């Protein structure tokens, strides 16, 4: 089954304790991306990766890091989490940006709800 898998699904942690949210896709997709969803703000892109060689910042990259060492994985790292990073996070992937469409959409994971106290 084609899917984007995020772990953990839920996490409550404390300020300053480093954490990693993993994201893995089994569709051999080139493009991967991380978003956060907050009430009234919609989704905001944190980082995106066009392929294993190209990764760039989205609109809200501060406080986050990513790596794309291999095509299938795109972990999101919070080196020193703060309460303003409490949010619902989504990872997504697609074949490549030029082929995104109804037949080859951006696939979203089920989300990771982070609470940082």
Partner 1 sequence: GNSVTQMEGPVTLSEEAFLTINCTYTATGYPSLFWYVQYPGEGLQLLLKATKADDKGSNKGFEATYRKETTSFHLEKGSVQVSDSAVYFCALRGWGKFQFGAGTQVVVTP
Min dist CB 76 to partner 1, Å, is 15
Q: How many CB atoms lie within 10 A of CB 57?
A: 13
Q: Quick one: 56 or 79, whose CB is closer to partner 1? A: 56
Closest to 46 measured CA to CA, from 30, 35, 38: 35
Q: Which stretch binds partner 1 (CB under 8 A): 11-19, 64-72, 77-85, 98-106?
A: 98-106
CA pair distance 4, 92, nearest whole angstrom? 7
Measured in whole angstroms, the distance separating CA 23 from the mean position of its chain's CA atoms is 7
* 4 to 31, 59, 63, 83, 116: CA distances (angstroms): 12, 22, 23, 26, 24
Considering only 10, 53, 69, 102, the residue that binds partner 1 (CB under 8 A) is 102
Residues 1-60 that bind partner 1 (CB under 8 A): 4, 31, 33, 35, 40-45, 48, 50, 54, 56, 58-59
CB-hemisphere CA count at 13 Å for 7?
5
**Judged by CB under 8 A, how many residues of this single chain contact partner 1?**
28
Q: Quick one: 3 or 20, whose CB is closer to partner 1? A: 3
Binding footprint of partner 1 on the chain (CB under 8 A): 4, 31, 33, 35, 40-45, 48, 50, 54, 56, 58-59, 90, 92, 97, 100-102, 105-106, 108-111
């Amino acid at each position: 089954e084609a899917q984007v898998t995020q772990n953990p699904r839920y996490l409550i942690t404390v300020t300053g304790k480093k954490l990693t949210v993993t994201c893995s896709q089994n569709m051999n997709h080139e493009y991967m991306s991380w978003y956060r969803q907050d009430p009234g703000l919609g989704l905001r892109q944190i980082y995106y990766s066009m392929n294993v060689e190209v990764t760039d910042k989205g609109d809200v990259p501060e406080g986050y890091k990513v790596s794309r060492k291999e095509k299938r994985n795109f972990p999101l790292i919070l080196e020193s989490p703060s309460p303003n990073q409490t949010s619902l996070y989504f990872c997504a992937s697609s074949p490549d940006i030029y082929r995104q469409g109804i037949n080859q959409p951006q696939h979203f994971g089920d989300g990771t709800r982070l609470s940082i106290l």
